Amino acid sequence: MSLGLGMGAIRAAARRIAPHIHRTPVFRSRSLDAMANAELFFKCENLQRTGSFKIRGAANAVLSLSDEEAARGVATHSSGNHGAALACAARLRGIAAYIVVPSNAPEVKKRAIADFGGAITFCEPTLAAREEAIRKILAETGAVLIHPYNDERIITGQATAALELLEEIPDLDALLAPVSGGGLLSGTAIAAKALQPQIAVIGCEPAGADDAYRSLAAGRIMPMDNPQTIADGLRASLCPLTFGILRQHVDRVVLVSEDEIVEGMRLLWERLKLVVEPSGAVAASAALFGKLGPGAFDGGADKSDGKGAGLPRPDKSGEAARRAPRLGIILSGGNVDLARLPFR
């Protein structure tokens, strides 16, 4: 692992960004515990500044730039949350931010980027179109590219959410986070395994955008050409950096259906009174709808097929062994277009 991805770098990122982000709360619900047959601890990044965890990585990256680099401004491509976070972080430092946004991004996320002062360039909703547009902007402006996930500074910033959760709620059996390009899950896995080696780290992904699931099963990156999911923040594919981290540190990836994502959103709204976007509900849905599998905590993980036959649980006896599993769940964002809710 790179020296820039260890706990030293993660703790440095936490100190660097602390004045500029929220230390988000952890919510509980007895009714949701009963539904999942587990103790659930929800890390509420939907209540984070800019409405998602993305400000952690963006702030860490922007605040890490030299004065010479920062003077050139920053640029990225984003379906919304990273773009808004980067625009916000750039404003904190008083520099320009250039954001390439797919035309089908939710209106609430487009408005957030503009409200934070980001200069938006729209493109077709394909990875090729994003990359072509960002190449042109970098050539025209000389801005520094801050990639949404293929950047160690981004990954260490995102890792601070798991760091906070495990500082507040120790002795978790598993930590669940959504996966798209892999920045959040990579940072989560590095921090969790360093702080609590026996913890299971579980990636959660829409069945209609299952490139991480397929990639880990195949042992090579399997890009998603045309993802079909309501979870607009989870349509990206892994990169070599995040793929390598996930192979080393993640115990398994599980899939949830579109109906389960929507019902997970509804339950979080009803039981926790939290506005959570589809992408933010994916990890919760995996726990609530039995996606961890029967006997998930009965033995060691088997990574031979990239999915895992079981999740490791600390060797305990007596009452501790009989208790319900303790699951940490990262609710990654809350930027949902209220005029286009998937339920009525």
Same domain? For 72 and 119 the reply is: yes
* Segment 208-217, tens digit of pLDDT: 999 999 999 9
Give the total number of structural domains in the chain. 2
**CA 62 to each of CA 24, 56, 203, 262, 273: distance values in angstroms, whole numbers, following the listed order:** 21, 10, 27, 34, 33
Same domain? For 175 and 110 the reply is: no
pLDDT of residue 324 exceeding 60:
yes
Mean pLDDT on 315-325: 63
Mean pLDDT on 189-195: 98
Average pLDDT, the chain: 91
Same domain? For 259 and 298 the reply is: yes
What type of residue sits at position 315? D
Same domain? For 136 and 162 the reply is: no
- Say how far apart CA 344 and CA 259 lie, in whole Å: 14
* Segment 61-83, tens digit of pLDDT: 999 999 999 999 999 998 789 99
- Say how far apart CA 335 and CA 53 lie, in whole Å: 11
- Residue ending a domain, among 125, 145, 165, is 145
Q: Specify the pairing of strand 26-27 against strand 39-44.
A: antiparallel
Q: Which two tokens stand for residue 226?
A: 């045309």
- Say how far apart CA 17 and CA 127 lie, in whole Å: 30
Domain that holds residue 87: 55-145
**DSSP characters over 112-177:** HHHHTT-EEEEE-SSHHHHHHHHHHHHHHH-PEE--SSSSHHHHHHHHHHHHHHHHHS-S-SEEEE
- Closest by CA to 181, choosing from 212, 227, 206, 208, is 212
Indicate which CATH number applies to the domain containing 125. Answer: 3.40.50.1100
In this predicted structure, what is the pLDDT of residue 226?
Answer: 85
Same domain? For 116 and 201 the reply is: no
Same domain? For 101 and 41 the reply is: no
- Say how far apart CA 146 and CA 278 lie, in whole Å: 25
- Residue ending a domain, among 145, 179, 208, is 145
Residue 1 — pLDDT band, cuts 50, 70, 90? Answer: low
Same domain? For 194 and 328 the reply is: yes
pLDDT of residue 252 exceeding 70:
yes
pLDDT of residue 53 exceeding 60:
yes
* List of residues 6+ apart from 307 with CB closer than 8 A: 213, 216, 217, 252, 253, 254
pLDDT of residue 117 exceeding 80:
yes
Same domain? For 106 and 162 the reply is: no
- Residue ending a domain, among 128, 145, 162, is 145
Catalytic residues: 54, 79
* Segment 260-310, tens digit of pLDDT: 999 999 999 999 999 999 999 999 999 999 999 754 554 344 443 434 333
Same domain? For 130 and 193 the reply is: no
Same domain? For 69 and 132 the reply is: yes
Same domain? For 39 and 173 the reply is: yes
Mean pLDDT on 215-236: 93
Catalogue the E-assigned strands of the chain.
Answer: 26-27, 39-44, 74-77, 97-102, 119-123, 144-145, 174-178, 200-206, 252-256, 326-331
Same domain? For 294 and 173 the reply is: yes
Supply the pTM of this predicted model.
Answer: 0.91
pLDDT of residue 321 exceeding 70:
no
